[in-house]
Amino acid sequence: MTVTVRFAPSPTGKIHVGNVRAALWNWLFARSRGGKFILRIDDTDQERSTKENEDRIREDLVWLGLNWDETFSQSARFGDYDEISDRLRASGLLYPCYETAEELERKRRLQRTRGLPPVYDRAALSLTAEQIAAFEAEGRKPHWRFKLSQTPVKWNDLIRGETVVDTANVSDPVLIREDGMYLYTLPSCIDDIDYGVTHVIRGEDHVTNAAVQVEIMDAVIAIRAGQGKTGALPAFAHHSLLIGADGQGLSKRLGSLSIEQMRADGLEAAAITSLLAKLGTAEPVLPQTDLMALAQTFDFEKVGRAPARFDEAELLQLNAKILHDQPFAALSTRLSALGVSESVWDAVKGNVVKLADAGVWRDIIEGAIEPTIENADFCAKASTLVPDEPLTSESWGVFVDRVKAATGAKGKALFHPLRLALTGREKGPEMATIFPLIGAQKARARLNGRNA
Protein backbone atom coordinates (compact mmCIF):
# COMPACT_ATOMS: atom_id res chain seq x y z
CA MET A 1 0.00 0.00 0.00
CA THR A 2 1.44 3.35 -1.01
CA VAL A 3 0.74 5.96 1.62
CA THR A 4 -1.35 8.65 -0.07
CA VAL A 5 -2.37 11.81 1.72
CA ARG A 6 -3.90 15.08 0.69
CA PHE A 7 -3.92 18.65 1.87
CA ALA A 8 -7.25 20.13 0.87
CA PRO A 9 -7.50 23.88 1.37
CA SER A 10 -10.51 25.87 0.22
CA PRO A 11 -9.31 28.83 -1.82
CA THR A 12 -11.69 31.17 -0.03
CA GLY A 13 -8.88 32.86 1.91
CA LYS A 14 -5.25 32.69 2.83
CA ILE A 15 -3.57 29.77 4.54
CA HIS A 16 -2.38 30.38 8.07
CA VAL A 17 -0.45 28.61 10.83
CA GLY A 18 -3.48 26.48 11.67
CA ASN A 19 -4.03 24.90 8.29
CA VAL A 20 -0.37 24.87 7.37
CA ARG A 21 0.21 22.60 10.33
CA ALA A 22 -2.14 20.10 8.67
CA ALA A 23 -0.35 20.58 5.33
CA LEU A 24 3.02 20.04 6.97
CA TRP A 25 1.99 16.92 8.86
CA ASN A 26 0.50 15.41 5.73
CA TRP A 27 3.71 16.19 3.87
CA LEU A 28 5.97 14.87 6.64
CA PHE A 29 3.95 11.68 6.95
CA ALA A 30 3.99 11.08 3.18
CA ARG A 31 7.73 11.69 2.96
CA SER A 32 8.47 9.55 6.02
CA ARG A 33 6.73 6.63 4.30
CA GLY A 34 7.90 7.19 0.74
CA GLY A 35 4.29 8.08 -0.01
CA LYS A 36 2.41 10.54 -2.14
CA PHE A 37 1.30 14.06 -1.16
CA ILE A 38 -1.65 15.43 -3.11
CA LEU A 39 -2.66 19.07 -3.12
CA ARG A 40 -6.40 19.20 -3.65
CA ILE A 41 -8.09 22.53 -4.11
CA ASP A 42 -11.57 22.41 -2.55
CA ASP A 43 -13.18 24.99 -4.78
CA THR A 44 -16.74 23.71 -5.15
CA ASP A 45 -17.93 26.97 -3.60
CA GLN A 46 -17.45 28.95 -6.76
CA GLU A 47 -18.78 32.15 -5.26
CA ARG A 48 -16.17 32.35 -2.53
CA SER A 49 -13.25 30.56 -4.21
CA THR A 50 -10.85 32.66 -6.22
CA LYS A 51 -7.98 31.87 -8.54
CA GLU A 52 -5.95 34.50 -6.72
CA ASN A 53 -6.33 32.66 -3.40
CA GLU A 54 -5.46 29.39 -5.07
CA ASP A 55 -2.29 30.85 -6.60
CA ARG A 56 -1.35 32.31 -3.25
CA ILE A 57 -1.84 28.98 -1.49
CA ARG A 58 0.40 27.25 -4.02
CA GLU A 59 3.00 29.99 -3.66
CA ASP A 60 2.94 29.72 0.14
CA LEU A 61 3.34 25.93 0.04
CA VAL A 62 6.25 26.18 -2.40
CA TRP A 63 7.86 28.80 -0.19
CA LEU A 64 7.51 26.51 2.81
CA GLY A 65 9.09 23.67 0.82
CA LEU A 66 5.94 21.52 0.78
CA ASN A 67 6.05 20.24 -2.77
CA TRP A 68 3.24 18.04 -4.03
CA ASP A 69 3.31 14.95 -6.22
CA GLU A 70 -0.10 15.53 -7.72
CA THR A 71 -2.65 18.30 -7.67
CA PHE A 72 -6.21 18.84 -8.85
CA SER A 73 -9.17 21.08 -8.26
CA GLN A 74 -12.57 19.81 -7.30
CA SER A 75 -14.13 22.17 -9.85
CA ALA A 76 -12.70 19.89 -12.55
CA ARG A 77 -14.59 16.87 -11.18
CA PHE A 78 -18.24 17.90 -11.23
CA GLY A 79 -18.95 15.06 -13.70
CA ASP A 80 -17.91 12.48 -11.10
CA TYR A 81 -19.84 14.21 -8.33
CA ASP A 82 -22.99 14.34 -10.49
CA GLU A 83 -22.62 10.69 -11.38
CA ILE A 84 -22.27 9.57 -7.75
CA SER A 85 -25.04 11.83 -6.50
CA ASP A 86 -27.42 10.42 -9.13
CA ARG A 87 -26.61 6.94 -7.84
CA LEU A 88 -27.13 8.03 -4.26
CA ARG A 89 -30.48 9.59 -5.17
CA ALA A 90 -31.52 6.40 -6.93
CA SER A 91 -30.71 4.33 -3.83
CA GLY A 92 -32.56 6.73 -1.55
CA LEU A 93 -29.44 7.70 0.39
CA LEU A 94 -29.64 11.24 -0.95
CA TYR A 95 -33.04 12.77 -0.39
CA PRO A 96 -34.61 16.11 -1.26
CA CYS A 97 -35.61 18.60 1.44
CA TYR A 98 -37.63 21.77 0.96
CA GLU A 99 -37.32 23.60 4.28
CA THR A 100 -36.12 27.17 4.10
CA ALA A 101 -33.29 28.37 6.34
CA GLU A 102 -35.85 30.15 8.55
CA GLU A 103 -37.96 27.02 8.91
CA LEU A 104 -34.94 25.00 9.91
CA GLU A 105 -33.92 27.64 12.43
CA ARG A 106 -37.41 27.61 13.92
CA LYS A 107 -37.25 23.80 14.29
CA ARG A 108 -33.88 24.01 16.01
CA ARG A 109 -35.10 26.68 18.41
CA LEU A 110 -38.06 24.55 19.32
CA GLN A 111 -35.85 21.50 19.91
CA ARG A 112 -33.58 23.55 22.15
CA THR A 113 -36.44 24.85 24.27
CA ARG A 114 -37.55 21.24 24.74
CA GLY A 115 -34.00 20.27 25.76
CA LEU A 116 -33.51 18.16 22.64
CA PRO A 117 -30.36 18.13 20.50
CA PRO A 118 -30.86 20.24 17.35
CA VAL A 119 -30.76 17.27 15.00
CA TYR A 120 -32.67 17.41 11.72
CA ASP A 121 -36.00 15.57 12.14
CA ARG A 122 -36.10 14.02 8.65
CA ALA A 123 -39.50 15.53 8.00
CA ALA A 124 -38.63 15.64 4.31
CA LEU A 125 -38.60 11.83 4.19
CA SER A 126 -42.34 11.70 4.84
CA LEU A 127 -43.40 14.33 2.32
CA THR A 128 -46.09 13.10 -0.05
CA ALA A 129 -45.81 13.47 -3.82
CA GLU A 130 -48.51 16.19 -3.63
CA GLN A 131 -46.63 18.17 -1.01
CA ILE A 132 -43.45 17.99 -3.08
CA ALA A 133 -45.37 19.07 -6.17
CA ALA A 134 -46.81 22.00 -4.21
CA PHE A 135 -43.34 23.12 -3.09
CA GLU A 136 -42.04 22.85 -6.63
CA ALA A 137 -45.03 24.82 -7.91
CA GLU A 138 -44.17 27.51 -5.37
CA GLY A 139 -40.75 27.69 -7.00
CA ARG A 140 -38.90 26.04 -4.13
CA LYS A 141 -35.82 24.07 -5.08
CA PRO A 142 -34.70 21.14 -2.92
CA HIS A 143 -31.45 20.85 -1.06
CA TRP A 144 -30.19 17.30 -0.68
CA ARG A 145 -29.33 15.46 2.51
CA PHE A 146 -27.49 12.20 3.02
CA LYS A 147 -29.38 9.63 5.07
CA LEU A 148 -27.11 8.60 7.92
CA SER A 149 -27.34 5.12 9.45
CA GLN A 150 -27.97 6.50 12.96
CA THR A 151 -25.56 3.97 14.43
CA PRO A 152 -22.18 4.36 16.16
CA VAL A 153 -19.30 4.82 13.73
CA LYS A 154 -15.95 3.73 15.18
CA TRP A 155 -12.41 4.16 14.01
CA ASN A 156 -8.98 3.92 15.51
CA ASP A 157 -7.75 7.47 15.11
CA LEU A 158 -3.96 7.57 14.78
CA ILE A 159 -3.84 10.49 17.22
CA ARG A 160 -7.01 10.22 19.30
CA GLY A 161 -7.12 6.45 19.57
CA GLU A 162 -10.44 4.58 19.63
CA THR A 163 -13.07 7.14 18.53
CA VAL A 164 -16.82 6.65 18.34
CA VAL A 165 -19.38 9.06 16.95
CA ASP A 166 -23.01 8.00 16.98
CA THR A 167 -24.58 9.38 13.82
CA ALA A 168 -27.95 9.24 15.58
CA ASN A 169 -26.80 12.50 17.21
CA VAL A 170 -25.85 14.13 13.95
CA SER A 171 -28.13 15.82 11.42
CA ASP A 172 -28.25 14.20 8.03
CA PRO A 173 -25.71 16.39 6.24
CA VAL A 174 -26.72 18.65 3.38
CA LEU A 175 -24.52 17.59 0.47
CA ILE A 176 -26.03 19.73 -2.26
CA ARG A 177 -27.53 23.19 -1.78
CA GLU A 178 -30.77 24.33 -3.39
CA ASP A 179 -28.78 26.24 -6.02
CA GLY A 180 -27.08 22.96 -6.98
CA MET A 181 -23.77 23.79 -5.33
CA TYR A 182 -21.88 20.90 -3.74
CA LEU A 183 -20.78 21.49 -0.20
CA TYR A 184 -17.32 20.14 0.57
CA THR A 185 -18.42 16.82 2.11
CA LEU A 186 -19.49 14.68 -0.85
CA PRO A 187 -16.75 15.79 -3.27
CA SER A 188 -14.19 15.19 -0.51
CA CYS A 189 -15.44 11.64 0.08
CA ILE A 190 -15.52 10.81 -3.63
CA ASP A 191 -12.03 12.21 -4.13
CA ASP A 192 -10.58 10.42 -1.13
CA ILE A 193 -11.86 7.12 -2.51
CA ASP A 194 -11.06 7.75 -6.18
CA TYR A 195 -7.54 8.98 -5.44
CA GLY A 196 -6.77 6.13 -3.07
CA VAL A 197 -6.17 8.38 -0.07
CA THR A 198 -4.89 6.09 2.70
CA HIS A 199 -4.64 8.62 5.54
CA VAL A 200 -6.73 11.71 6.23
CA ILE A 201 -4.71 14.00 8.49
CA ARG A 202 -6.42 17.19 9.64
CA GLY A 203 -7.67 19.17 12.63
CA GLU A 204 -9.98 17.72 15.25
CA ASP A 205 -12.71 20.15 14.22
CA HIS A 206 -13.41 17.48 11.60
CA VAL A 207 -13.98 14.55 13.99
CA THR A 208 -17.79 14.58 13.63
CA ASN A 209 -17.40 15.05 9.89
CA ALA A 210 -15.24 11.93 9.85
CA ALA A 211 -18.13 9.76 11.06
CA VAL A 212 -20.43 11.23 8.42
CA GLN A 213 -17.74 10.81 5.80
CA VAL A 214 -17.15 7.16 6.72
CA GLU A 215 -20.80 6.47 5.91
CA ILE A 216 -20.69 8.42 2.67
CA MET A 217 -17.40 6.81 1.67
CA ASP A 218 -18.86 3.37 2.29
CA ALA A 219 -21.63 4.25 -0.15
CA VAL A 220 -19.11 5.56 -2.68
CA ILE A 221 -16.98 2.42 -2.31
CA ALA A 222 -20.05 0.27 -2.99
CA ILE A 223 -20.92 2.30 -6.12
CA ARG A 224 -17.35 2.10 -7.40
CA ALA A 225 -17.22 -1.63 -6.63
CA GLY A 226 -20.26 -2.05 -8.89
CA GLN A 227 -18.18 -0.40 -11.60
CA GLY A 228 -15.33 -2.84 -11.02
CA LYS A 229 -13.18 -0.35 -9.10
CA THR A 230 -11.71 -1.03 -5.71
CA GLY A 231 -11.70 1.54 -2.96
CA ALA A 232 -11.01 1.49 0.75
CA LEU A 233 -11.69 3.70 3.73
CA PRO A 234 -8.71 5.81 4.75
CA ALA A 235 -7.27 5.86 8.26
CA PHE A 236 -7.83 9.12 10.16
CA ALA A 237 -5.51 11.25 12.24
CA HIS A 238 -7.20 14.27 13.84
CA HIS A 239 -4.79 16.61 15.56
CA SER A 240 -5.69 19.07 18.28
CA LEU A 241 -6.00 22.72 17.31
CA LEU A 242 -3.52 25.48 18.04
CA ILE A 243 -4.09 27.97 20.81
CA GLY A 244 -2.21 31.19 21.42
CA ALA A 245 0.44 31.75 24.10
CA ASP A 246 -2.39 33.30 26.15
CA GLY A 247 -4.34 30.01 26.04
CA GLN A 248 -7.03 31.49 23.78
CA GLY A 249 -8.08 30.08 20.42
CA LEU A 250 -6.35 31.57 17.41
CA SER A 251 -9.39 31.99 15.19
CA LYS A 252 -9.71 35.76 15.67
CA ARG A 253 -6.04 36.36 14.95
CA LEU A 254 -5.61 34.09 11.97
CA GLY A 255 -5.51 37.06 9.60
CA SER A 256 -2.19 38.19 11.03
CA LEU A 257 -0.98 34.61 11.20
CA SER A 258 -1.31 33.96 7.49
CA ILE A 259 1.78 32.53 5.84
CA GLU A 260 1.76 35.48 3.45
CA GLN A 261 1.89 37.92 6.36
CA MET A 262 4.60 35.97 8.18
CA ARG A 263 6.68 35.90 5.05
CA ALA A 264 6.16 39.65 4.57
CA ASP A 265 7.21 40.11 8.20
CA GLY A 266 10.52 38.50 7.35
CA LEU A 267 10.10 35.13 8.98
CA GLU A 268 12.03 32.19 7.58
CA ALA A 269 10.04 29.29 6.15
CA ALA A 270 12.25 26.92 8.15
CA ALA A 271 11.34 28.64 11.42
CA ILE A 272 7.65 28.08 10.69
CA THR A 273 8.11 24.45 9.66
CA SER A 274 10.50 23.66 12.55
CA LEU A 275 7.98 24.96 15.02
CA LEU A 276 4.80 23.54 13.49
CA ALA A 277 6.35 20.11 12.98
CA LYS A 278 6.93 19.67 16.70
CA LEU A 279 4.18 21.71 18.36
CA GLY A 280 1.87 19.33 20.15
CA THR A 281 4.38 16.48 20.09
CA ALA A 282 6.56 15.10 22.86
CA GLU A 283 9.69 16.26 21.04
CA PRO A 284 11.67 19.46 21.58
CA VAL A 285 11.39 22.25 19.03
CA LEU A 286 14.79 22.65 17.36
CA PRO A 287 15.91 24.74 14.40
CA GLN A 288 15.86 22.52 11.33
CA THR A 289 16.22 23.70 7.75
CA ASP A 290 16.04 20.20 6.28
CA LEU A 291 12.40 19.11 5.93
CA MET A 292 13.43 15.55 5.12
CA ALA A 293 15.21 15.35 8.47
CA LEU A 294 11.94 16.44 10.12
CA ALA A 295 10.12 13.76 8.12
CA GLN A 296 12.47 11.05 9.33
CA THR A 297 11.46 11.62 12.93
CA PHE A 298 7.75 12.18 12.27
CA ASP A 299 5.48 9.71 14.01
CA PHE A 300 1.86 9.94 15.20
CA GLU A 301 2.93 8.04 18.32
CA LYS A 302 4.66 11.22 19.48
CA VAL A 303 1.62 13.45 18.99
CA GLY A 304 -0.41 14.40 22.07
CA ARG A 305 -4.10 15.22 22.29
CA ALA A 306 -3.86 18.46 24.25
CA PRO A 307 -4.19 21.74 22.35
CA ALA A 308 -0.78 22.94 21.16
CA ARG A 309 0.41 26.38 22.16
CA PHE A 310 1.59 28.60 19.33
CA ASP A 311 3.84 31.30 20.71
CA GLU A 312 5.05 34.01 18.34
CA ALA A 313 7.98 34.77 20.67
CA GLU A 314 9.13 31.16 20.28
CA LEU A 315 8.84 31.52 16.52
CA LEU A 316 11.06 34.60 16.57
CA GLN A 317 13.66 32.86 18.73
CA LEU A 318 13.69 29.97 16.32
CA ASN A 319 14.00 32.37 13.42
CA ALA A 320 17.07 33.91 15.03
CA LYS A 321 18.62 30.51 15.74
CA ILE A 322 18.09 29.39 12.18
CA LEU A 323 19.76 32.52 10.80
CA HIS A 324 22.68 32.29 13.24
CA ASP A 325 23.65 28.95 11.72
CA GLN A 326 23.42 29.97 8.08
CA PRO A 327 26.54 30.38 5.97
CA PHE A 328 26.51 33.29 3.51
CA ALA A 329 26.26 30.91 0.56
CA ALA A 330 22.89 29.58 1.76
CA LEU A 331 21.38 33.09 1.73
CA SER A 332 23.56 34.84 -0.82
CA THR A 333 20.77 35.99 -3.15
CA ARG A 334 18.68 37.50 -0.39
CA LEU A 335 21.70 38.97 1.41
CA SER A 336 23.05 40.48 -1.79
CA ALA A 337 19.66 42.10 -2.36
CA LEU A 338 20.12 43.74 1.04
CA GLY A 339 23.66 44.79 0.07
CA VAL A 340 25.13 42.56 2.75
CA SER A 341 28.55 41.08 1.93
CA GLU A 342 29.91 37.82 3.27
CA SER A 343 32.20 39.54 5.77
CA VAL A 344 29.36 41.70 7.10
CA TRP A 345 27.08 38.64 7.34
CA ASP A 346 29.70 36.66 9.25
CA ALA A 347 30.17 39.60 11.60
CA VAL A 348 26.50 40.28 12.33
CA LYS A 349 24.58 37.04 11.88
CA GLY A 350 24.74 36.26 15.57
CA ASN A 351 22.82 39.48 16.22
CA VAL A 352 19.92 39.20 13.81
CA VAL A 353 16.41 37.98 14.54
CA LYS A 354 15.21 38.52 10.97
CA LEU A 355 17.29 38.68 7.83
CA ALA A 356 16.45 42.36 7.30
CA ASP A 357 18.34 43.11 10.53
CA ALA A 358 21.52 42.28 8.63
CA GLY A 359 20.70 45.20 6.32
CA VAL A 360 20.40 47.49 9.34
CA TRP A 361 23.84 46.40 10.53
CA ARG A 362 25.24 46.81 7.06
CA ASP A 363 24.08 50.42 7.11
CA ILE A 364 25.70 50.95 10.50
CA ILE A 365 28.97 49.38 9.39
CA GLU A 366 29.24 50.66 5.85
CA GLY A 367 26.89 53.61 5.70
CA ALA A 368 26.87 56.88 7.62
CA ILE A 369 25.49 57.11 11.14
CA GLU A 370 24.85 59.83 13.64
CA PRO A 371 27.24 58.77 16.43
CA THR A 372 26.11 58.98 20.03
CA ILE A 373 28.76 60.78 22.04
CA GLU A 374 28.51 60.30 25.79
CA ASN A 375 31.76 61.93 26.74
CA ALA A 376 33.22 64.18 24.08
CA ASP A 377 36.71 64.54 25.56
CA PHE A 378 37.10 60.82 26.07
CA CYS A 379 35.95 60.08 22.53
CA ALA A 380 38.10 62.80 20.97
CA LYS A 381 41.12 61.39 22.78
CA ALA A 382 40.21 57.88 21.61
CA SER A 383 39.97 59.09 18.03
CA THR A 384 43.66 59.89 18.06
CA LEU A 385 44.46 56.34 19.16
CA VAL A 386 42.68 54.45 16.36
CA PRO A 387 45.34 52.27 14.67
CA ASP A 388 46.19 52.94 11.06
CA GLU A 389 44.74 50.94 8.19
CA PRO A 390 44.57 48.12 7.48
CA LEU A 391 42.58 47.23 10.57
CA THR A 392 42.58 43.53 11.41
CA SER A 393 40.94 41.29 13.97
CA GLU A 394 43.74 42.32 16.36
CA SER A 395 43.14 46.05 15.95
CA TRP A 396 40.29 46.39 18.43
CA GLY A 397 42.43 44.90 21.23
CA VAL A 398 45.30 47.22 20.36
CA PHE A 399 42.98 50.25 20.25
CA VAL A 400 41.24 49.46 23.53
CA ASP A 401 44.58 48.92 25.30
CA ARG A 402 45.76 52.31 24.07
CA VAL A 403 42.59 54.08 25.20
CA LYS A 404 42.79 52.38 28.58
CA ALA A 405 46.43 53.39 29.03
CA ALA A 406 45.74 56.99 27.97
CA THR A 407 42.53 57.59 29.95
CA GLY A 408 42.62 55.08 32.80
CA ALA A 409 39.05 54.02 31.92
CA LYS A 410 38.13 50.37 32.22
CA GLY A 411 35.14 48.04 32.06
CA LYS A 412 31.87 49.63 31.04
CA ALA A 413 33.29 53.16 31.23
CA LEU A 414 35.80 52.13 28.60
CA PHE A 415 33.70 50.04 26.24
CA HIS A 416 30.27 51.64 26.38
CA PRO A 417 31.16 55.12 25.04
CA LEU A 418 33.30 53.57 22.32
CA ARG A 419 30.52 51.26 21.14
CA LEU A 420 27.96 54.08 21.23
CA ALA A 421 30.18 56.42 19.25
CA LEU A 422 31.20 53.81 16.71
CA THR A 423 27.81 52.17 16.12
CA GLY A 424 25.19 54.47 17.63
CA ARG A 425 23.86 51.39 19.45
CA GLU A 426 24.00 50.12 23.01
CA LYS A 427 24.49 46.53 21.92
CA GLY A 428 25.50 44.62 18.87
CA PRO A 429 28.03 42.32 17.27
CA GLU A 430 31.54 41.84 18.70
CA MET A 431 33.40 45.13 18.28
CA ALA A 432 36.58 43.21 17.40
CA THR A 433 34.76 41.83 14.36
CA ILE A 434 33.07 44.97 13.12
CA PHE A 435 35.83 47.46 13.92
CA PRO A 436 37.91 46.47 10.87
CA LEU A 437 34.77 46.58 8.72
CA ILE A 438 33.97 50.11 9.88
CA GLY A 439 37.54 51.13 9.13
CA ALA A 440 39.90 53.61 10.73
CA GLN A 441 38.69 56.70 8.88
CA LYS A 442 35.01 56.30 9.78
CA ALA A 443 35.99 55.30 13.33
CA ARG A 444 37.96 58.51 13.85
CA ALA A 445 35.20 60.65 12.38
CA ARG A 446 32.49 59.02 14.48
CA LEU A 447 34.56 59.37 17.65
CA ASN A 448 34.75 63.07 16.84
CA GLY A 449 30.97 63.21 16.65
CA ARG A 450 30.82 63.51 12.89
CA ASN A 451 28.19 61.85 10.77
CA ALA A 452 30.23 59.25 8.91
Q: For the CB of residue 450, give the shortest distance to ligand GLU in the complex, in Å.
A: 59
Q: What is the b/e burial string over 316-337, where b = at least 16 CB atoms within 10 angstroms of the residue's CB?
A: ebbbbbbbeebebeebeeebee
Measured from the CB atom, is 199 or 278 closer to ligand GLU? 199
Measured from the CB atom, is 184 or 300 closer to ligand GLU? 184
Give the amino acid at 370. Answer: E
Q: For the CB of residue 40, give the shortest distance to ligand GLU in the complex, in Å.
A: 8
173 sits near ligand GLU (criterion: CB under 6 A): no
**Exactly one of 188, 288, 395, 423 binds ligand GLU (CB under 6 A); which one?**
188
Query: Could you say which residues in the range 199-238 bind ligand GLU, by CB under 6 A?
Result: 202, 206
Measured from the CB atom, is 97 or 308 closer to ligand GLU? 308
By three-state DSSP, how is residue 176 classified?
A: strand
CA dihedral over 427, 430, 434, 436, signed as positive or negative: positive
**Among candidate residues 355, 436, 345, the one with its CA nearest the CA of residue 390:** 436
What is the phi/psi pair of residue 132, to 5°? -60, -45
By three-state DSSP, how is residue 287 classified?
A: coil
| β pairing state of 161-166 and 152-157 | antiparallel
Give me the 28-57 binding string for ligand GLU, x by CB under 6 A, dash otherwise: --------------x---------------
**Exactly one of 4, 5, 8, 60 binds ligand GLU (CB under 6 A); which one?**
8
Measured from the CB atom, is 233 or 338 closer to ligand GLU? 233
Chain-centre distance of CA 404, in angstroms? 53
Please identify, among the stretches 2-10, 58-66, 126-134, 390-398, the one whose residues bind ligand GLU according to the rule CB under 6 A.
2-10
Given a contact cutoff of 8 angstroms between Cβ atoms, the answer to whether 207 and 165 are in contact is yes
How many other CB atoms are found less than 10 A from the CB of residue 378? Answer: 20
- Residue count at the site for ligand GLU (CB under 6 A)? 8
Q: For the CB of residue 354, give the shortest distance to ligand GLU in the complex, in Å.
A: 30
| β pairing state of 235-239 and 199-203 | parallel
| β pairing state of 242-244 and 235-239 | unpaired
Q: For the CB of residue 227, give the shortest distance to ligand GLU in the complex, in Å.
A: 24
281 sits near ligand GLU (criterion: CB under 6 A): no
Greatest alpha-carbon pair distance for the chain in Å reads 107
9 sits near ligand GLU (criterion: CB under 6 A): yes
Please identify, among the stretches 4-12, 168-176, 216-224, 389-397, the one whose residues bind ligand GLU according to the rule CB under 6 A.
4-12
Q: For the CB of residue 19, give the shortest distance to ligand GLU in the complex, in Å.
A: 6
Q: For the CB of residue 206, give the shortest distance to ligand GLU in the complex, in Å.
A: 6
Residues 6+ apart with CB under 8 A from 24: 64, 66, 273, 276, 277
Binding site for ligand GLU (CB under 6 A): 8-10, 42, 184, 188, 202, 206
